[in-house]
Amino acid sequence: MDDIKEKLDIFHNHCKAKGLKVTPQRTEIYKTLIASKEHPSAEMVYEKIRQTLPNVSFDTVNRTLNTLNDMGAAFIVEGCGDVRRFDGNMENHQHFKCINCKKIFDFSHKTFDNISVPENLLGDFKVLRAVVYIEGLCKSCQEKK
Amino acid sequence: MDDIKEKLDIFHNHCKAKGLKVTPQRTEIYKTLIASKEHPSAEMVYEKIRQTLPNVSFDTVNRTLNTLNDMGAAFIVEGCGDVRRFDGNMENHQHFKCINCKKIFDFSHKTFDNISVPENLLGDFKVLRAVVYIEGLCKSCQEKK
DNA sequence: TTACTATATAGGTTTAGCTACTATTTTGTT
DNA sequence: AACAAAATAGTAGCTAAACCTATATAGTAA
Protein backbone atom coordinates (compact mmCIF):
# COMPACT_ATOMS: atom_id res chain seq x y z
CA MET A 1 0.00 0.00 0.00
CA ASP A 2 2.09 2.87 -1.26
CA ASP A 3 -1.16 4.77 -1.46
CA ILE A 4 -0.86 5.73 2.18
CA LYS A 5 2.76 6.72 1.82
CA GLU A 6 1.81 8.94 -1.09
CA LYS A 7 -0.99 10.56 0.85
CA LEU A 8 1.37 11.24 3.73
CA ASP A 9 3.85 12.91 1.37
CA ILE A 10 1.12 15.13 0.01
CA PHE A 11 -0.02 15.86 3.54
CA HIS A 12 3.50 16.83 4.65
CA ASN A 13 3.88 19.19 1.71
CA HIS A 14 0.46 20.57 2.45
CA CYS A 15 1.53 21.29 6.03
CA LYS A 16 4.73 23.01 4.97
CA ALA A 17 2.88 25.11 2.44
CA LYS A 18 0.61 26.30 5.22
CA GLY A 19 3.49 26.91 7.64
CA LEU A 20 2.42 24.08 9.91
CA LYS A 21 4.98 21.83 11.45
CA VAL A 22 5.13 18.15 10.71
CA THR A 23 4.96 16.48 14.08
CA PRO A 24 4.69 12.77 14.87
CA GLN A 25 1.32 13.37 16.54
CA ARG A 26 -0.07 15.28 13.60
CA THR A 27 1.13 12.64 11.17
CA GLU A 28 -0.23 9.80 13.25
CA ILE A 29 -3.62 11.45 13.71
CA TYR A 30 -3.89 12.05 10.00
CA LYS A 31 -2.85 8.47 9.27
CA THR A 32 -5.43 7.14 11.70
CA LEU A 33 -8.13 9.25 10.15
CA ILE A 34 -7.54 8.24 6.54
CA ALA A 35 -7.19 4.59 7.55
CA SER A 36 -10.57 4.67 9.27
CA LYS A 37 -13.73 4.01 7.35
CA GLU A 38 -16.08 4.80 10.22
CA HIS A 39 -15.99 8.60 10.20
CA PRO A 40 -14.61 8.69 13.74
CA SER A 41 -15.27 11.25 16.42
CA ALA A 42 -12.39 12.90 18.28
CA GLU A 43 -12.91 10.37 21.08
CA MET A 44 -12.67 7.43 18.67
CA VAL A 45 -9.46 8.76 17.14
CA TYR A 46 -8.07 9.34 20.62
CA GLU A 47 -8.72 5.73 21.65
CA LYS A 48 -7.07 4.38 18.52
CA ILE A 49 -4.07 6.64 18.65
CA ARG A 50 -3.24 5.70 22.22
CA GLN A 51 -2.26 2.28 20.94
CA THR A 52 0.64 3.77 19.04
CA LEU A 53 1.22 7.00 21.00
CA PRO A 54 0.14 6.25 24.58
CA ASN A 55 1.05 9.68 25.91
CA VAL A 56 -0.90 11.82 23.52
CA SER A 57 -3.51 14.07 25.09
CA PHE A 58 -7.13 14.27 24.07
CA ASP A 59 -6.76 17.98 23.51
CA THR A 60 -4.04 17.43 20.95
CA VAL A 61 -6.22 14.97 19.06
CA ASN A 62 -9.22 17.27 19.07
CA ARG A 63 -7.21 20.36 18.20
CA THR A 64 -5.36 18.54 15.44
CA LEU A 65 -8.59 17.27 13.91
CA ASN A 66 -9.85 20.83 13.81
CA THR A 67 -6.56 21.88 12.24
CA LEU A 68 -6.95 19.22 9.56
CA ASN A 69 -10.41 20.58 8.90
CA ASP A 70 -9.12 24.15 8.70
CA MET A 71 -6.29 23.28 6.32
CA GLY A 72 -8.57 21.22 4.10
CA ALA A 73 -6.97 17.83 4.74
CA ALA A 74 -10.15 16.53 6.32
CA PHE A 75 -13.60 17.80 7.17
CA ILE A 76 -16.37 17.57 9.68
CA VAL A 77 -19.22 15.39 8.53
CA GLU A 78 -22.50 17.24 8.34
CA GLY A 79 -25.22 15.90 10.61
CA CYS A 80 -27.98 16.71 13.06
CA GLY A 81 -26.71 17.30 16.55
CA ASP A 82 -24.60 14.53 18.03
CA VAL A 83 -20.85 14.35 18.25
CA ARG A 84 -18.61 15.79 15.57
CA ARG A 85 -17.48 13.17 13.14
CA PHE A 86 -14.45 13.55 10.91
CA ASP A 87 -13.71 12.32 7.42
CA GLY A 88 -10.29 12.17 5.79
CA ASN A 89 -11.60 11.13 2.41
CA MET A 90 -11.58 14.29 0.35
CA GLU A 91 -12.92 12.67 -2.78
CA ASN A 92 -16.42 13.64 -3.77
CA HIS A 93 -18.90 11.46 -1.99
CA GLN A 94 -22.11 11.64 0.03
CA HIS A 95 -23.15 10.43 3.44
CA PHE A 96 -26.09 8.52 4.72
CA LYS A 97 -26.49 8.59 8.47
CA CYS A 98 -28.57 6.18 10.50
CA ILE A 99 -30.38 8.16 13.16
CA ASN A 100 -30.57 5.11 15.40
CA CYS A 101 -27.09 3.56 15.48
CA LYS A 102 -25.37 6.76 14.24
CA LYS A 103 -23.33 4.84 11.68
CA ILE A 104 -22.35 6.86 8.64
CA PHE A 105 -22.32 5.18 5.25
CA ASP A 106 -20.53 6.54 2.21
CA PHE A 107 -22.15 6.46 -1.14
CA SER A 108 -21.56 8.06 -4.46
CA HIS A 109 -24.10 9.35 -6.88
CA LYS A 110 -23.13 11.10 -10.09
CA THR A 111 -25.76 13.81 -9.91
CA PHE A 112 -24.85 14.63 -6.32
CA ASP A 113 -21.12 14.79 -6.86
CA ASN A 114 -21.24 18.12 -8.57
CA ILE A 115 -24.17 20.00 -7.19
CA SER A 116 -24.76 23.16 -9.14
CA VAL A 117 -25.55 25.87 -6.68
CA PRO A 118 -28.48 28.13 -7.62
CA GLU A 119 -27.28 31.28 -9.36
CA ASN A 120 -29.22 33.62 -7.14
CA LEU A 121 -27.23 32.26 -4.23
CA LEU A 122 -23.89 32.68 -5.94
CA GLY A 123 -24.46 36.43 -6.06
CA ASP A 124 -24.84 36.86 -2.33
CA PHE A 125 -22.98 33.95 -0.81
CA LYS A 126 -19.53 32.55 -1.01
CA VAL A 127 -20.13 28.82 -1.18
CA LEU A 128 -17.48 26.76 0.53
CA ARG A 129 -19.19 23.43 0.63
CA ALA A 130 -22.32 21.88 -0.78
CA VAL A 131 -23.41 18.37 0.10
CA VAL A 132 -26.40 16.11 -0.01
CA TYR A 133 -27.29 14.80 3.39
CA ILE A 134 -29.52 11.81 3.78
CA GLU A 135 -30.68 10.38 7.06
CA GLY A 136 -32.91 7.52 8.00
CA LEU A 137 -32.64 3.97 9.28
CA CYS A 138 -30.06 1.45 8.16
CA LYS A 139 -30.99 -2.13 7.38
CA SER A 140 -30.13 -3.68 10.72
CA CYS A 141 -31.84 -0.92 12.69
CA GLN A 142 -35.00 -1.39 10.66
CA GLU A 143 -35.01 -5.08 11.46
CA LYS A 144 -34.67 -4.46 15.16
CA LYS A 145 -38.00 -2.70 15.27
CA MET B 1 -53.78 34.74 10.17
CA ASP B 2 -55.88 31.62 10.42
CA ASP B 3 -52.91 29.80 9.03
CA ILE B 4 -51.41 29.51 12.49
CA LYS B 5 -54.68 28.37 14.02
CA GLU B 6 -54.92 25.68 11.37
CA LYS B 7 -51.39 24.52 12.01
CA LEU B 8 -52.10 24.33 15.71
CA ASP B 9 -55.18 22.20 15.08
CA ILE B 10 -53.16 19.83 12.95
CA PHE B 11 -50.46 19.78 15.62
CA HIS B 12 -52.96 18.95 18.36
CA ASN B 13 -54.40 16.10 16.34
CA HIS B 14 -50.90 14.93 15.59
CA CYS B 15 -50.14 14.87 19.33
CA LYS B 16 -53.27 12.93 20.15
CA ALA B 17 -52.58 10.43 17.40
CA LYS B 18 -49.17 9.79 18.96
CA GLY B 19 -50.58 9.60 22.49
CA LEU B 20 -48.89 12.83 23.54
CA LYS B 21 -50.72 15.28 25.73
CA VAL B 22 -51.56 18.77 24.59
CA THR B 23 -50.03 21.02 27.22
CA PRO B 24 -49.81 24.80 27.19
CA GLN B 25 -46.01 24.59 27.20
CA ARG B 26 -45.92 22.20 24.29
CA THR B 27 -48.36 24.32 22.31
CA GLU B 28 -46.51 27.53 23.05
CA ILE B 29 -43.13 26.06 22.14
CA TYR B 30 -44.51 24.78 18.86
CA LYS B 31 -46.12 28.14 18.15
CA THR B 32 -42.88 29.96 18.88
CA LEU B 33 -40.95 27.65 16.59
CA ILE B 34 -43.22 27.96 13.57
CA ALA B 35 -43.44 31.73 14.04
CA SER B 36 -39.66 32.03 14.00
CA LYS B 37 -37.76 32.39 10.77
CA GLU B 38 -34.33 32.18 12.31
CA HIS B 39 -34.04 28.43 12.93
CA PRO B 40 -33.63 28.96 16.65
CA SER B 41 -31.59 26.95 19.09
CA ALA B 42 -33.16 25.61 22.28
CA GLU B 43 -31.67 28.58 24.10
CA MET B 44 -33.26 31.05 21.66
CA VAL B 45 -36.68 29.43 22.00
CA TYR B 46 -36.28 29.46 25.76
CA GLU B 47 -35.57 33.20 25.81
CA LYS B 48 -38.59 33.95 23.67
CA ILE B 49 -40.99 31.70 25.48
CA ARG B 50 -40.21 33.24 28.84
CA GLN B 51 -41.98 36.36 27.66
CA THR B 52 -45.28 34.49 27.58
CA LEU B 53 -44.56 31.68 30.04
CA PRO B 54 -42.06 33.09 32.55
CA ASN B 55 -41.92 29.94 34.65
CA VAL B 56 -41.07 27.46 31.96
CA SER B 57 -37.81 25.57 32.47
CA PHE B 58 -35.05 25.22 29.95
CA ASP B 59 -35.25 21.47 30.21
CA THR B 60 -38.89 21.51 29.16
CA VAL B 61 -38.04 23.60 26.12
CA ASN B 62 -35.18 21.38 25.12
CA ARG B 63 -37.07 18.16 25.74
CA THR B 64 -40.11 19.43 23.89
CA LEU B 65 -38.05 20.45 20.88
CA ASN B 66 -36.65 16.93 20.78
CA THR B 67 -40.19 15.58 21.07
CA LEU B 68 -41.27 17.74 18.13
CA ASN B 69 -38.36 16.32 16.18
CA ASP B 70 -39.27 12.75 17.13
CA MET B 71 -42.93 13.12 16.24
CA GLY B 72 -42.12 14.79 12.93
CA ALA B 73 -43.57 18.21 13.71
CA ALA B 74 -40.14 19.83 13.41
CA PHE B 75 -36.60 18.78 12.75
CA ILE B 76 -33.03 19.53 13.67
CA VAL B 77 -31.24 21.48 10.97
CA GLU B 78 -28.31 19.60 9.52
CA GLY B 79 -24.92 21.25 9.93
CA CYS B 80 -21.31 20.83 11.00
CA GLY B 81 -20.82 21.00 14.72
CA ASP B 82 -22.24 23.97 16.63
CA VAL B 83 -25.45 24.20 18.58
CA ARG B 84 -28.56 22.33 17.49
CA ARG B 85 -30.91 24.49 15.48
CA PHE B 86 -34.57 23.64 15.00
CA ASP B 87 -36.92 24.22 12.10
CA GLY B 88 -40.70 24.00 12.23
CA ASN B 89 -41.19 24.46 8.50
CA MET B 90 -41.82 20.99 7.17
CA GLU B 91 -42.21 22.09 3.58
CA ASN B 92 -39.48 21.06 1.22
CA HIS B 93 -36.66 23.57 1.35
CA GLN B 94 -32.91 23.79 1.64
CA HIS B 95 -30.51 25.54 3.97
CA PHE B 96 -27.53 27.74 3.54
CA LYS B 97 -25.50 28.32 6.68
CA CYS B 98 -22.94 31.06 7.18
CA ILE B 99 -19.99 29.56 9.02
CA ASN B 100 -19.10 32.96 10.43
CA CYS B 101 -22.31 34.45 11.86
CA LYS B 102 -24.09 31.08 12.01
CA LYS B 103 -27.20 32.48 10.37
CA ILE B 104 -29.24 29.95 8.43
CA PHE B 105 -30.94 31.03 5.23
CA ASP B 106 -33.75 29.13 3.57
CA PHE B 107 -33.77 28.70 -0.14
CA SER B 108 -35.71 26.63 -2.57
CA HIS B 109 -34.47 25.00 -5.71
CA LYS B 110 -36.64 22.85 -7.88
CA THR B 111 -34.06 20.18 -8.54
CA PHE B 112 -33.21 19.90 -4.84
CA ASP B 113 -36.74 19.79 -3.54
CA ASN B 114 -37.29 16.30 -4.80
CA ILE B 115 -33.95 14.64 -4.61
CA SER B 116 -34.16 11.20 -6.06
CA VAL B 117 -32.30 8.91 -3.77
CA PRO B 118 -30.11 6.31 -5.47
CA GLU B 119 -31.97 3.05 -5.94
CA ASN B 120 -29.26 0.94 -4.37
CA LEU B 121 -29.78 2.94 -1.18
CA LEU B 122 -33.54 2.49 -1.19
CA GLY B 123 -33.08 -1.24 -0.91
CA ASP B 124 -31.12 -1.13 2.31
CA PHE B 125 -32.09 2.13 3.95
CA LYS B 126 -35.28 3.75 4.99
CA VAL B 127 -34.78 7.37 3.97
CA LEU B 128 -36.44 9.83 6.30
CA ARG B 129 -34.89 13.02 5.07
CA ALA B 130 -32.76 14.09 2.13
CA VAL B 131 -31.62 17.67 1.75
CA VAL B 132 -28.93 19.77 0.20
CA TYR B 133 -26.80 21.58 2.71
CA ILE B 134 -24.66 24.49 1.65
CA GLU B 135 -22.26 26.36 3.84
CA GLY B 136 -20.05 29.35 3.27
CA LEU B 137 -20.04 33.07 3.96
CA CYS B 138 -23.05 35.34 3.75
CA LYS B 139 -22.86 38.75 2.12
CA SER B 140 -22.32 40.84 5.22
CA CYS B 141 -19.68 38.48 6.62
CA GLN B 142 -17.78 38.61 3.32
CA GLU B 143 -17.71 42.39 3.46
CA LYS B 144 -16.36 42.43 7.00
CA LYS B 145 -13.16 40.75 5.86
C1' DT C 1 -68.34 16.71 38.23
C1' DT C 2 -65.19 14.01 40.45
C1' DA C 3 -61.65 10.65 40.82
C1' DC C 4 -58.05 8.21 38.69
C1' DT C 5 -53.99 7.18 35.83
C1' DA C 6 -50.60 8.19 32.66
C1' DT C 7 -47.83 11.66 31.18
C1' DA C 8 -45.55 16.25 31.51
C1' DT C 9 -43.22 19.84 34.09
C1' DA C 10 -39.94 22.51 37.22
C1' DG C 11 -35.87 22.76 39.29
C1' DG C 12 -31.75 21.00 40.47
C1' DT C 13 -27.96 17.85 39.37
C1' DT C 14 -24.84 15.63 36.24
C1' DT C 15 -22.56 14.48 32.12
C1' DA C 16 -20.42 15.03 27.68
C1' DG C 17 -18.12 17.52 24.26
C1' DC C 18 -15.28 20.84 23.46
C1' DT C 19 -12.16 24.95 24.31
C1' DA C 20 -8.74 27.78 26.90
C1' DC C 21 -4.51 28.32 29.42
C1' DT C 22 0.40 27.68 30.64
C1' DA C 23 4.69 25.54 31.25
C1' DT C 24 7.48 22.51 28.65
C1' DT C 25 9.08 20.27 24.53
C1' DT C 26 9.92 19.86 19.71
C1' DT C 27 10.38 21.16 14.91
C1' DG C 28 12.55 23.40 11.23
C1' DT C 29 15.89 26.79 10.21
C1' DT C 30 19.83 29.53 10.55
C1' DA D 1 24.62 23.60 17.56
C1' DA D 2 21.55 27.21 18.71
C1' DC D 3 17.54 29.76 18.18
C1' DA D 4 12.62 31.22 17.44
C1' DA D 5 8.20 29.77 16.23
C1' DA D 6 4.99 26.52 16.96
C1' DA D 7 3.08 22.24 18.99
C1' DT D 8 2.16 19.36 22.97
C1' DA D 9 0.58 17.59 27.66
C1' DG D 10 -2.02 18.28 31.36
C1' DT D 11 -5.17 20.72 33.77
C1' DA D 12 -8.98 23.52 34.32
C1' DG D 13 -13.16 25.74 32.60
C1' DC D 14 -17.14 26.29 29.90
C1' DT D 15 -21.57 25.41 27.49
C1' DA D 16 -25.07 22.48 25.64
C1' DA D 17 -27.85 19.01 26.65
C1' DA D 18 -29.48 14.96 29.22
C1' DC D 19 -30.89 12.96 33.70
C1' DC D 20 -33.58 12.63 38.11
C1' DT D 21 -37.49 13.12 41.25
C1' DA D 22 -41.26 15.20 43.43
C1' DT D 23 -45.18 17.71 42.02
C1' DA D 24 -48.69 19.11 38.78
C1' DT D 25 -51.57 18.53 34.85
C1' DA D 26 -54.26 16.44 30.86
C1' DG D 27 -57.25 13.10 29.34
C1' DT D 28 -60.49 9.42 30.55
C1' DA D 29 -63.91 6.99 32.68
C1' DA D 30 -67.29 6.55 36.33
Sequential DSSP letters for A69-97:
HHHTSSEEPPBSSS---EE---SS-EEEE
Whether residue A137 contacts residue A99, with contact meaning beta carbons closer than 8 Å, is answered with: yes
Name the DSSP class of B125: -
pLDDT for A58: 94
> Could you give the CA distance from residue A111 to residue A92 in angstroms, rounded to a whole number?
11
B129 touching A (Cβ < 8 Å): yes
Q: What is the mean pLDDT of residues A45-54?
A: 92
> Could you give the CA distance from residue A78 to residue B60 in angstroms, rounded to a whole number?
27
**Crossing angle (nearest 10°) for helices B42-49 and B58-71:** 120
Q: Could A134 and B139 be called an inter-chain contact, meaning their C-beta atoms sit closer than 8 Å?
A: no
Whether residue A112 contacts residue A123, with contact meaning beta carbons closer than 8 Å, is answered with: no
Q: What is the mean pLDDT of residues A54-68?
A: 94
Q: Could B77 and A78 be called an inter-chain contact, meaning their C-beta atoms sit closer than 8 Å?
A: no
Closest CA to A106 of B76, B120, B133: B120
- What mean pLDDT is reported for chain A? 91
Contacting residues of B for A131, CB less than 8 Å apart: 132-134
- What mean pLDDT is reported for chain B? 92
pLDDT for A3: 83
pLDDT for B49: 95
Which residue type is seen at A40?
Answer: P
Asked whether the predicted pLDDT for residue B120 surpasses 80, the reply is no
Q: What is the mean pLDDT of residues A19-27?
A: 94
Beta strands in chain A (DSSP E): 75-76, 86-87, 94-98, 104-107, 126-137
pLDDT for A43: 93
| A71-80, A105-114, B82-91, B101-110: segment of lowest average pLDDT | A105-114
Q: Could A107 and B130 be called an inter-chain contact, meaning their C-beta atoms sit closer than 8 Å?
A: no
CB contacts under 8 A, B 32-91 vs A, are 75-81, 84
> Could you give the CA distance from residue A112 to residue B144 in angstroms, rounded to a whole number?
32
Name the DSSP class of B101: T
Asked whether the predicted pLDDT for residue A7 surpasses 70, the reply is yes
Asked whether the predicted pLDDT for residue B17 surpasses 90, the reply is yes
